[in-house]
Amino acid sequence: MQNWEDLRTLISTPQKVVITTHQNPDADALGSSLGWGLYLQKKGHQFTVISPTDYPDNLSWLPHCADVVVFNEKSRQQCTDLMANAGAIFCLDFNALQRINELGEMVRNAPGTKVMIDHHLFPEDFADISISDTRAAATAQIIVEIIERMGDNLLIDKSIAESLYAGIMTDTGSFRHPSTTKDAHLAVVRLMEAGLEPNPVHRRIFDNAPMSRLRLLGHVLSQNMVHLPEYNTIYMTISEAELKQFDSKYGDTEGIVNYGLQVQKVALAVLMIEREREIKLSFRSVESFSARDVASAHFDGGGHKNASGGRTKLTLQQTVEKLVSVLPQYKTALTHS
């Protein structure tokens, strides 16, 4: 449902607003949140972005990123007060309150108007106003379209443009994923008209890694990557001990799973990471095969057709064994992709 007029009415009156996004925020989550906040600020609103967890170092350059409130025990009361005093709470790049951990109940119980802006499938019915477009490549793309629909293109400045471009660029895999559409490119055109320079944004995100990340990547690709040609599948693992060995920081594992799809004929790539007493899985697939089907059916996950996540409470080895055991169910689809 697209409640355009309700949204227009809501943002026409300046007020205090909170913007929140999913745990372990990526560039689309954080970029769309900051871009939306800076746009609302130009319309007279006071905004605060609250993140359920910390964000990767390679996103710390985003305009006003230093002002993001990261939810933890120290900031709990601040977050509670911000939610209680907000006239509107914008939920960006997620569509189920469980995606924001303890903040979920705060949002549910807050008196302000709840607005969901998102592009994922199967939205939960928790918002008063919903702007949900599963065809959009990124939530940041939807923000560009909202600003245009509101007749506010001239309010987009370089800071807003950089924030939103970061989300579109990363969620499209630098414009190579199947989610890359004409509308995604047109959104970027609008941002470039506002002063965006794409190359510096790309370099800040992708050419800004610590040496430890490169060493971890090399280790995973050389030692922990397994090719299953009979299923056109590659899986990779990273144990908690290996994360410590390579001094891995949050965000260092981002994008590693994509390397699996570079192998000839591979239709599905899976990365399994042991962290915080559970295994987190990332699934990537070619356009014709649904990674989401595997994630949702077997690993308590979901997401997009070709980019999904999951998790288990099994051991790392047990998770590998489970993955291998379910692949025969998908053999025909995998080998004909």
Share of the chain above pLDDT 90, in %: 89
The model's pLDDT over 280-330, given as tens digits with 9 standing for 90+, comes to 999 999 989 999 999 999 999 988 899 999 999 999 999 999 999 999 999
Query: Beta strands 129-132 and 113-118: pairing type?
Result: parallel
Nearby residues of 245 by Cβ (< 8 Å), 6 or more positions away: none
Tokens of 255: 């994008």
Phi, psi of 140 (to 5 degrees): -60, -35
CA distance 52 to 283: 23
CA 113 to chain centroid, in Å, comes to 23
> How would residue 1 be classed by pLDDT, with cut points 50, 70 and 90?
low
The pLDDT assigned to 239 comes to 97
The pLDDT assigned to 277 comes to 87
The pLDDT assigned to 176 comes to 87
The model's pLDDT over 277-286, given as tens digits with 9 standing for 90+, comes to 899 999 999 9
| CA 316 vs CA 71, 137, 236, 273, 330: distances in Å | 29, 32, 11, 8, 22
Contacts 24+ apart (CB under 8 A), 180-183: 180/137, 181/135, 181/137, 183/135, 183/136, 183/137, 183/141, 183/145
The pLDDT assigned to 165 comes to 98
The model's pLDDT over 144-168, given as tens digits with 9 standing for 90+, comes to 999 999 999 999 999 999 999 999 9
CA distance 82 to 111: 11
> How would residue 258 be classed by pLDDT, with cut points 50, 70 and 90?
very high
Does the pTM exceed 0.85? yes
CA distance 312 to 278: 6
DSSP 60-78: TTSTTGGGPEEPSTTTHHH
The model's pLDDT over 29-60, given as tens digits with 9 standing for 90+, comes to 999 999 999 999 999 999 999 999 999 999 99
The b/e string for 56-82 (b: 16+ C-beta within 10 A; e otherwise) is bebbeebbbbeebeebeeeeeeebeeb
